[in-house]
């Protein structure tokens, strides 16, 4: 019964997080590789999240497709003296309909540390600021993709559920049931991001089910059942189908693999196949 509800009610999402990669020309070339896989198929919602510099350009390239544009982060104030920040109205102006918030890298947690350890305080995201961003995005009709997940040490010490519960409360604790219907949650275990390690599909599904359960406690059973919960953390063409076949995983937030056009198309096909089977 649960699987039937998933197929009939929860349209899968496959979002590509390009992170700090690609010029506008490179972004346009990648878009041209991906578009044919999506244009004639609406069973899966595909979102591309380029860097800020390519947002408008990618949006223009996607005008005649079903692919949505998302940002990788946002600031919660609408305007003001916030040098270097980008507001929600600016994202709307660039054509965004989605935005990632709370990514572990924005929180200063990396699967593989690619910056100096002494610079980690620069990445200052907190559970509270994620909540501010979610509220600002919903006020302008942009769908937040809220990232939650534990580090390797937190998992090793049995804190996974507690960490995720706290992250969910900070991000979504002020939302009512109607607002909850406009949110996507992505479970991204930090230890699996960019490391090549992937959470076993059954364990990933268990945590996604836990997320759904917690949303049910905050809102109601219907909101929890309708919530789209994605998995992220080394999603690749060779593991996507198994992950997406799980009852509580409704697609993926894909990092490095989304930069390879044919590989990302394969991941989209995996989601389409699991939705239609």
Distances (CA, A) of 137 to 109, 183, 207, 255: 23, 10, 25, 22
pLDDT (0 to 100) of residue 7:
43
Known catalytic residue at 116: no
Domain ranges of the chain: 2-276
Q: Which pTM value belongs to this model?
A: 0.94
pLDDT (0 to 100) of residue 276:
58
pLDDT (0 to 100) of residue 19:
97
pLDDT (0 to 100) of residue 173:
93
Catalytic residue among 103, 105, 125, 154: 103
Known catalytic residue at 202: no
10-residue stretch averages of pLDDT, the chain, 277 residues long: 49 97 98 88 94 98 94 98 98 98 95 87 93 98 98 95 97 92 96 87 98 91 93 95 97 97 96 75
Q: Measured in Å, how far apart are the chain's first and last C-alpha atoms?
A: 15
**Residues contacting 115, CB < 8 A, separation 6+:** none
On whether the 2-276 domain is CATH 2.30.110.10, my answer is no
């Amino acid at each position: 019964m649960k699987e039937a509800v998933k197929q009939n009610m929860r349209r899968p999402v496959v979002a590509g997080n390009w992170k700090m990669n690609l010029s506008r020309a490179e972004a346009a070339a990648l878009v041209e590789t991906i578009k044919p896989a999506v244009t004639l198929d609406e069973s899966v919602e595909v979102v591309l999240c380029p860097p800020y510099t390519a947002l408008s350009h990618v949006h223009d390239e996607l005008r005649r497709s079903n692919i949505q544009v998302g940002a990788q982060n946002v600031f919660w104030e609408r305007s003001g003296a916030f040098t270097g920040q980008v507001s929600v109205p600016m994202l709307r102006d660039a054509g965004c309909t989605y935005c990632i918030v709370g990514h572990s890298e924005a929180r200063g947690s990396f699967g593989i540390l690619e910056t100096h350890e002494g610079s980690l305080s620069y990445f200052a995201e907190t559970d509270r600021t994620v909540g501010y961003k979610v509220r600002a995005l919903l006020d302008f009709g942009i769908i937040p993709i809220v990232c939650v997940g534990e580090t390797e040490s937190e998992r090793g010490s049995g804190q996974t559920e507690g960490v995720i519960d706290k992250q969910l409360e900070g991000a979504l604790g002020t939302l009512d049931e109607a607002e909850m219907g406009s949110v996507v949650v992505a479970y991204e275990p930090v230890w699996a991001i960019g490391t090549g390690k992937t959470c076993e599909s059954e364990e990933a599904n268990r945590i996604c089910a836990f997320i759904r359960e917690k949303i049910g406690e905050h809102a109601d059973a219907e909101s929890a059942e309708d919530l789209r919960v994605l998995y992220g953390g080394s999603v690749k063409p060779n593991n996507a189908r198994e992950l997406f076949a799980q009852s509580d995983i409704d697609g993926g937030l894909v990092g490095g693999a989304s930069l390879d056009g044919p590989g990302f198309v394969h991941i989209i096909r995996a989601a389409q196949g699991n939705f239609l089977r």
